[in-house]
A and B are shown apart, each in its own frame.
Chain A
Amino acid sequence: MSAWGFVSLAYGIVWGSILVYLILLKRRYASTAADLDALRSTEATSSDAKK
């Protein structure tokens, strides 16, 4: 492999891995935010019903 081959491999793995982590983190974030919103709205509905 040429010098630029090694450089490309290193840069590709690093930025690819960071991008994959960022995407996975954003997905976890979005699904947790949706769960929290659903829980908040359920609580608001049930407290309104009690009133």
Chain B
Amino acid sequence: MAQVAIKKRKGILGALAFVAVVIGLFWSLVIAPPDAYQGDVQRIMYLHLPSILTAYLSYFLVFIGSGMYLWKREKRDDLLAHSAAEIGVLFTALTIIEGSIWGRPTWGVWWTWDARLTLTAILLLIYVGYLMLRSLIEDENRAASAAAVLGIIGFLDIPLIHMSVYWWRTLHQPPSILRPDKAPWENVHPAMLTALAISFVGFLLLYFYLLSMRYRLGEMREEIRARRLDRGA
């Protein structure tokens, strides 16, 4: 009975994510006006910002799950951290790719060793390392503990990424939305802000849909492992 309810909730979440993504795409590609300076290339920002914010959220969950695991030693916290790290890597890689495609017509280069870009690439490498570490250590508990330490340390890169445009002279522009001196609606056209907000909601719903599925996958694997151990004992 509980399984049916979970499946139904997951179905509703998936359907909501799909609807939000379709509306977000329509708003981003059709309704939002082209940028006065960048033209239509700026539409890539409706992917770029939601994907990096989703990746940050994912690494925040890795941070929380890892901290809780090291404190309480409960498998569910480790499962949350592991699931969130895998999806976080996907969204970080996509952020770098989108940024690169936007950078070519805007900056004239696919890649530059700018502080924000480099720190984001380091973030990706840290969490790819996190996933590799888990697969390299055979003992499950040792792998979870080592990964949890890396998951917590890796999260410290995010404030550095955010502040990098203030601390160093970078090619990457300062934030347009999360500015300390201006509200978003004072700085961005309302139709552009709406496109960004809907895209972000779509990414968030999609993220939680993927996370719930990945978490359940981890739970099932854990149950299989426990049952096989019981049979072997």
Residues of A within 8 A of B102 (CB): 6, 10
Residues of A within 8 A of B223 (CB): 36
In A1-51, the 8 Å CB interface with B consists of: 1, 3-4, 6-7, 9-11, 13-14, 17-18, 21-22, 25-26, 28-29, 32-33, 35-36, 39-40, 43
In the bound complex, do residue A32 and residue B221 qualify as a contact, i.e. CB atoms below 8 Å apart?
A: yes
Q: Is B217 part of the binding interface, using a Cβ–Cβ cutoff of 8 Å?
A: yes
Instruction: Report the minimum CB–CB distance from A44 to chain B (whole Å).
Output: 12
Residues of A within 8 A of B108 (CB): none
Instruction: Report the minimum CB–CB distance from A5 to chain B (whole Å).
Output: 9
Q: Could you tell me the dominant secondary structure of chain B's interface residues?
A: helix
In the bound complex, do residue B105 and residue A29 qualify as a contact, i.e. CB atoms below 8 Å apart?
A: no
Residues of A within 8 A of B47 (CB): 10-11, 14
Contact with A7, one of B41, B90, B216, B220 (Cβ below 8 angstroms): B41
Q: Is B227 part of the binding interface, using a Cβ–Cβ cutoff of 8 Å?
A: yes
Q: Number of residue pairs across A and B with beta carbons under 8 Å?
A: 71
Chain A residues proximal to chain B, CB less than 8 Å? 1, 3-4, 6-7, 9-11, 13-14, 17-18, 21-22, 25-26, 28-29, 32-33, 35-36, 39-40, 43
In this complex, how many residues of chain B approach chain A with their Cβ under 8 Å: the count is 31
CB-defined A-B contacts under 8 Å, sample of 24? A3-B105, A6-B101, A6-B104, A7-B29, A7-B41, A7-B43, A7-B44, A10-B47, A10-B97, A10-B102, A11-B47, A13-B101, A14-B47, A14-B51, A17-B94, A18-B90, A25-B214, A28-B217, A29-B216, A32-B217, A32-B220, A32-B224, A35-B224, A40-B227
In the bound complex, do residue A10 and residue B217 qualify as a contact, i.e. CB atoms below 8 Å apart?
A: no
Contact with B41, one of A6, A17, A22 (Cβ below 8 angstroms): A6
Contact with B105, one of A6, A28, A33 (Cβ below 8 angstroms): A6
Instruction: Report the minimum CB–CB distance from B134 to chain A (whole Å).
Output: 15
Residues of A within 8 A of B169 (CB): none
Instruction: Report the minimum CB–CB distance from A48 to chain B (whole Å).
Output: 16
Residues of A within 8 A of B221 (CB): 32
In the bound complex, do residue A7 and residue B40 qualify as a contact, i.e. CB atoms below 8 Å apart?
A: yes
In the bound complex, do residue A36 and residue B224 qualify as a contact, i.e. CB atoms below 8 Å apart?
A: yes
In the bound complex, do residue A39 and residue B227 qualify as a contact, i.e. CB atoms below 8 Å apart?
A: yes
Residues of A within 8 A of B217 (CB): 25, 28-29, 32
